[in-house]
Amino acid sequence: MTELRTPRLWLHAIDAAEGERIVGRRAAVGDAWADDFPFDGDVIGVTAFLRATAIHGDQRPFGHYRITRASDGKAIGGIGFKGQPHVGCVEVGYGLAPSARGHGYATEALLALLNIAAEQGLSRVVADTTSDNVASQRTLERAGFRQVRTNGDVHVYELLLDTETQ
């Protein structure tokens, strides 16, 4: 599984070479990026992905996915799993370039990623966001997550997956 499609997006599982280009902010021939992609959040997420790949090898399907807008073919952000599942649970993270925010793309991408977790038989997905990131909190809530605790400035959310229908 290297690409997921939603009504408005393509989620493409990146490899180490593409990750290096994103972290270095150097598009190669054939890379179509929004003017403000990658933003700092992309670089942070992909750096963690590259570190995990170097230590543990190919992370798919629990790796990092480039979010591409189908209407113009431009990369607008990233979404992925923050490591491999542990005891039926996996953590997710996501971010969009500033120009792509406010259109529901993050929720759409997150719902697609949740399908991967469900297809892999996981029972729980977690995510966190800071108290001042109201947009991310709303994204998680629209995707079905509920806040389970606060740890200082960090709000922790979880989604219990329906393992009965898999």
The reported pTM is: 0.94
3-state secondary structure of 143: coil
Summarised one tens digit per residue, pLDDT across range 79-132 is: 999 999 999 999 999 999 999 999 999 999 999 999 999 999 999 999 999 999
Helices (H), the chain: 16-24, 40-56, 105-119, 134-142
**Nearest 5°: phi and psi at 87?**
50, 50
User: Is the CB of residue 6 less than 8 Å from the CB of residue 112?
Assistant: yes
Could you give the C-alpha distances from 50 to 16, 57, 69, in angstroms and in order? 6, 9, 23
Summarised one tens digit per residue, pLDDT across range 57-83 is: 999 999 999 999 999 999 999 999 999
Which amino acid, one-letter code, is at 160? Answer: L
